[in-house]
Structure 1
Amino acid sequence: MNDNIHNAGSFLAENKDTSIQEASEVLHALMEEANTYVSNAKAQNTVRSYQSDWRHFTSWCDSFGLPSLPTTEETFALYLTSLAKDGYKASTIQRRISAITQAHTAADYETPNTNKIRLVWAGIKRTIGTEEKGKDPIILDTLKQILEVIPDRLLGIRDRALLLLGFAGAFRRSELVGIDVEDIKPVKEGIVISLKNSKTNQEGKKEVVAIPYGENQDTCPVHAINKWLEAANISDGAVFRSINRHGQVSEKRLSDKAVAIIVKRYIEAVGLNEEDYSGHSLRAGFATTAAMLGKSERSIMKQSRHKSDYMVRKYIRHTSLFEENAATDIGL
């Protein structure tokens, strides 16, 4: 009888230990998965920027023998002051503050965003200003100038398609190079492009952009994209790809940085300053051109997929500076 009780107790104890171990393993696996979700909560570009900013901060701390994680109020204040002194823009400093805060939060340290830091940051913003000088938009007239100098060979066929599609779809650089053939659906009015992810759509919800046929075949984005796919013999996968010096089309997708390089190349070719333009100039150019032509704020936002009307209204305000201007026709 006693032996039976002892054996039963041993059995329960062993099974209890096994259950605890299994539960621990399950929780550990769930924790790892949760950390993955945390990592995916922000766009990859944002993550890379934070990592770069954090490396800059730790390198600066190391050069002066100061603590980085956890840092101190004094170190943080000195770092921000150093950035302002070295001429960094307010937006860059703001991102560095966010990166340092995120790193401390992730390591379970108290966020070093004290009242003193907030006062230092407020003083920096007041001193250097927070207004950002954006790049110039590529408006329709400028785009047409560019199209005239694009060579009629494989590289030029690709670049024409990329610039026209980027403009007509008001695409961000990452959206443009992320398009696959499978994302393009021909319709009677033109094509419809499904975006898998975008800056304002990180959750993978279906987002589509309609690209209508152009009035002129030479400036029609639908014709340009079809011509590129046929010339490059691309039937699936990435639409925009690199081309080597022998004219061979790679399987490799263009990077988003390549869009800026292409834009600057042709901006220089038409005699403009490439420093004034970027890959974003196509998207900004569409919004500016549409505003100049009197398109409604709602229709511009629908095509550009801006979630906030702030930027769209900024484009509209810029194009209407001389409309009903009180200083016009007053006898000067």
Structure 2
Amino acid sequence: MNKNTPSTPDHGKPLEEMTAADFERASRAASTRRENAKDVRYFVQQGGALPASPAVMVAWLTKVASQLAPATIQRRMVSVGQWHKENGYPSPLDDPQVKRVFSGIGRTVGLAQRTVAPLVRDDLLAVLAAVERQKPMRAARDSALLLMMFCAALRRGSAINVRVEDITEHELGIDLILRRSKTDQAGKGLVVSIPYAQGSKCPVKAIAKWRELSGITTGYLFRSVNKHDQIGDDKLHADSVCRIVKHAVKLAGLDESKYSSHSARAGFVTSAASAQMPLAEIAQVTKHRGMQSLQRYLRVVDQRRTKSLL
């Protein structure tokens, strides 16, 4: 291939060699495709077969109804349906009996999704104090990561893809360019501003400290740190973010099973709502395109403010 021929990062093919199927796959993020493929593998391992007939899907649903959370079953069904669509087979999800069986599982078990605990401001401060007791390099990285994810309300995929070149310093703090995110799969780019904090736990200063200690001047900002406090060359893996959050809250004496990598983002929204920050300002940070998700957090905060009638 001529080095001047444009290619896609996921496929490595010249544009003129890409098929309609390649472009259709490119419409979904690589991480989404990996998760879909993982779901399909689990489906087969648990007794499913591809292509799946409605009878096979009904048998699988009956088998896993007592083993998996309904939300997990639903996600794997969607992935299996996507596999059939991409490979030219009719989807078993369109079958009336499959729909009725899944509906019955929902009525029996419930379809409520598990929600993680938000890492709200006061808990975050306690977690940061605990994190700082780690070895210097790990403490600096984890503090910068947690503060950035909280103050910019970042998802883990956005956080691990921040590069040094994407950071612009100014008198009020820093700007981050998010080259691609969950709500920006086309890669148009989003700018997120992080201001200096008034308190001692400042995300801008924490990021600067991590950059100084690590010596990272180009490339991905957050990288692995081994047990000897040595920095790796590759960017931090998405799954590692969840482990870092769980380890950090455990150090602070919190129940790690209740937290995940989404807890920092959820913590910002919950803390902002509790501080009565206007909804438009919260959405400006979170980059929500719709308000439905934000309203869920606000309803919880509003309910907690309701005074007892007794």
| TM-score of the superposed pair, with normalisation by structure 2 | 0.90
Whether 1:125 aligns to 2:106 is yes
> Amino acid of the residue matched to residue 96 of structure 1?
R
Residue 43 (structure 2) aligns with: 57
Q: Give the Å deviation of 1:125.
A: 1.1
Indicate if the aligned counterparts of 2:137 and 2:230 stay in contact, CA closer than 8 A.
no
- What displacement does 1:247 show? 2.9
Q: Deviations over 1:90-116 (max 9, x none)?
A: 221111211221222222122222111
Please, which moves more after superposition, 42-51 or 198-207? 42-51
Which residue of structure 2 aligns with residue 176 of structure 1? 159
CA distance in 2, matches of 1:100, 1:157: 42
2:46 paired with 1:37 = no
**Alpha-carbon distance between aligned partners in 1 of 2:304 and 2:55, rounded to the nearest angstrom:** 49
Tell me if 1:220 matches 2:164: no
Name 2:268's counterpart in structure 1.
Answer: 286
Which of 170, 181, 190 in structure 2 is aligned with 1:187?
170
| Alpha-carbon separation, structure 2, partners of 1:279 and 1:60 | 28
Q: Which residue of 2 aligns with 1:111?
A: 91
2:182 aligned with 1:196: no
Q: Note the aligned Cα RMSD (angstroms).
A: 1.7
> 2:16 & 2:129 partners in 1: Cα distance?
57
Does the 8 Å CA contact 2:119/2:266 hold for their aligned counterparts? yes
How far does residue 59 in structure 1 lie from its aligned partner after superposition? Answer: 2.7
Moved more, 183-192 or 145-154: 145-154
1:95 — aligned with what? 75
- The list of structure 1 runs, each at least 4 consecutive aligned residues, that deviate by more than 6 angstroms after superposition, is none
Cα deviations across residues 248-303 of structure 1 (Å, max 9, x unaligned)?
Answer: 32221111111111111121111111001111100000000000000011111110
Partner of 2:303: 321
Partner of 2:11: none
In the alignment, which residue of structure 2 is the partner of 1:143? 124
Displacement of 1:245:
3.2
Structure that is richer in helix per residue: 1
What is the alpha-carbon distance in structure 2 between the residues aligned to residue 116 and residue 30 of structure 1?
Answer: 43
Question: What corresponds to 2:228 in structure 1?
Answer: 246
SS at match of 1:209: strand
Name the structure 1 match of 2:8: none
C-alpha displacement at 1:147, in angstroms? Answer: 1.7
**Letter paired with 1:85:** S
Distance in 2 of aligned mates of 1:83 and 1:31: 41
Residue 58 of structure 1 aligns to which amino acid in structure 2?
V
User: Scaled by the length of structure 1, what TM-score is found?
Assistant: 0.84
Q: Provide structure 2 residue ranges, at least 5 long, that are not aligned to the other structure.
A: 1-14
Q: What is the one-letter code of the residue matched to 1:108?
A: G
Cα shift readout 1:169-192 (whole Å, capped 9, x = no counterpart): 000011111100000011221101
Seen in structure 2, the aligned counterparts of structure 1 residues 106 and 272 have a Cα distance that, compared at 3 Å, is same
For structure 1, the residue ranges without an aligned partner over 5 or more in a row are 1-28, 63-67
1:35 positional shift: 2.5
Post-superposition shift, 1:69? 2.9
Q: How many residues align?
A: 293
**Alignment CA distance shift 1:182-1:108 (3 Å):** same
Which one of 272, 276, 280 corresponds to residue 254 of structure 2? Answer: 272
Q: Which has the larger radius of gyration?
A: 1
1:316 and 1:73 map into 2 onto residues whose CA distance is: 41
Q: Are the counterparts in 1 of residues 21 and 86 from structure 2 also a CA contact under 8 Å?
A: no
In structure 2, the partner of 1:209 is 192
Q: Which moved more, 1:316-325 or 1:296-305?
A: 316-325
Indicate whether 1:134 and 2:120 are aligned: no
Task: Report how far residue 77 of structure 1 moved.
Answer: 0.8
